[in-house]
């Protein structure tokens, strides 16, 4: 089923992102973790795509397995960094053969050891979106950044580029992680003002280990509220307490979003079934 059909039902959805193994040697353990999340029957799941397409085969394999074994609709990520048109077409052919209807189109970041020009046939995600829409009958989504993309000249310029992505055929948007809901609400107002009317799905990252905070800031440049810093300072050295506090903080974010009319929530689960289950339990009556 296409994601636009799921979202059109106007019901509360809680979905999870998982990632495939970087190497075949780790496939079984990562598959078990991803399938553990799928066994919770979320509204849908997304499966990430390694830098430069390094996990492309396993992305499709994990996504296909989730759909076949658990009946959970999936979104397969696809990046154009380091990829030519033929690579993209081959990836789309595999997705279609696996019964995957949804693709999250991303530019992607240049891999550390990549030699040469990483962007040849495609320079921007908008070009990839247009290619996918022209090539096959896929529901195509994209990423957006409530606090601005790290490479953007300005937040306003970032929204202009986001509009180009939507005009190219992007049918839904999923945000980068954020820890202050007011940032999301302000961003949503600005994108609607810019004429972007597709669903914008907030992406929530439950921080359950203290070292995740530095990584989150480094990767996304997101703001960490003082309230959350206090949680990390107090519980960061106690893994069990930090996990409980991180799930509670993410739960609070999600409840606030739903209370303010945001019905579709996407969670970066990091392949942790216990995190996904903790959120589901905390929200059991809300997401019925």
120 confidence band (pLDDT: 50, 70, 90): confident
Cα–Cα dist 22/32, whole Å: 14
Residues contacting residue 40 through CB under 8 Å, at least 6 positions apart: 16, 273, 276, 277, 280
Give 49-81 pLDDT, tens digit per residue: 876 555 678 999 999 999 999 999 999 999 998
Give 178-215 pLDDT, tens digit per residue: 999 999 999 999 999 999 999 999 999 999 998 888 77
φ/ψ of 88, rounded to 5, equals: -65, -45
Cβ contact 1:73 at 8 Å: yes
From residue 1, alpha-carbon distances to 44, 101, 117, 139, 214 in Å are 10, 7, 36, 9, 37
Query: Each residue of 228-248: pLDDT tens digit?
Result: 999 999 999 999 999 999 999
- Based on its alpha-carbon atoms, the radius of gyration of the chain, rounded to whole angstroms, reads 18
Alpha helices, DSSP H only, in 136-272? 155-167, 181-193, 211-220, 226-235, 239-259
User: Per the residue annotation, which of 5, 17, 64, 130 is the catalytic one?
Assistant: 17
Which residues lie below 8 Å from residue 174, measured CB to CB, with a gap of 6+? 46, 104, 141, 142, 143, 144, 200, 201, 203, 266
Q: How far apart are CA 49 and CA 280, in angstroms?
A: 25
pLDDT of 117 reads: 76
In the structure, what pLDDT confidence band is assigned to residue 216 with cuts at 50, 70 and 90?
Answer: confident
Cα 175 from Cα 145, distance rounded (Å): 6
Q: Are 146 and 187 in contact (CB under 8 A)?
A: yes
Which residues lie below 8 Å from residue 183, measured CB to CB, with a gap of 6+?
Answer: 146, 147, 223
- The mean of the pLDDT values for the chain is 93
Distance CA 17, CA 174 (A): 11
> Quick one: tokens of 70?
């658990």
17 tagged catalytic: yes
At 149 the pLDDT is 87
Residue percentage of the chain with pLDDT more than 70: 96
Residue 4: pLDDT over 90 = yes
- pTM for the structure as a whole: 0.95
């Amino acid at each position: 089923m296409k994601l636009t059909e799921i979202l059109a039902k106007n019901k509360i959805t809680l979905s999870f992102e998982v990632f495939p193994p970087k190497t075949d040697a780790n496939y079984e353990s990562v598959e078990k973790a991803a399938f553990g999340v799928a066994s919770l029957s979320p509204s849908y799941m997304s499966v990430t795509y390694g830098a430069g397409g390094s996990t492309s085969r396993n992305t499709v394999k994990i996504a296909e397995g989730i759909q076949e074994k658990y009946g959970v609709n999936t979104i397969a990520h696809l990046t154009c960094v380091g990829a030519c048109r033929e690579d993209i077409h081959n990836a789309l052919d595999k997705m279609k053969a696996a019964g995957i209807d949804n693709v999250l189109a991303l530019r992607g970041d240049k891999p550390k050891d990549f030699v040469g020009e990483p962007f040849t046939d495609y320079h921007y995600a908008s070009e990839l979106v247009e290619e996918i829409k022209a090539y096959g009958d896929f529901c195509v989504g994209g990423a957006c950044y409530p606090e601005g993309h790290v490479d953007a000249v300005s937040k306003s310029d970032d929204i202009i580029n986001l509009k180009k992505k939507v005009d190219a055929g992007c049918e839904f948007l999923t945000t980068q992680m954020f820890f202050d809901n007011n940032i999301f609400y302000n961003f949503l107002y600005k994108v609607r003002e810019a004429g972007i009317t597709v669903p914008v799905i907030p992406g929530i990252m439950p921080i359950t280990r203290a070292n995740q905070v530095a990584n989150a800031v480094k990767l996304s440049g997101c703001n960490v509220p003082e309230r959350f810093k206090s949680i990390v300072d107090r519980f960061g050295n106690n893994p069990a307490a930090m996990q409980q506090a991180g799930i509670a903080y993410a739960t609070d974010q999600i409840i606030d979003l739903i209370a303010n009319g945001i019905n579709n929530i996407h969670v970066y689960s990091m392949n942790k079934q216990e995190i996904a289950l903790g959120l589901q339990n905390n929200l059991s009556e809300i997401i019925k």
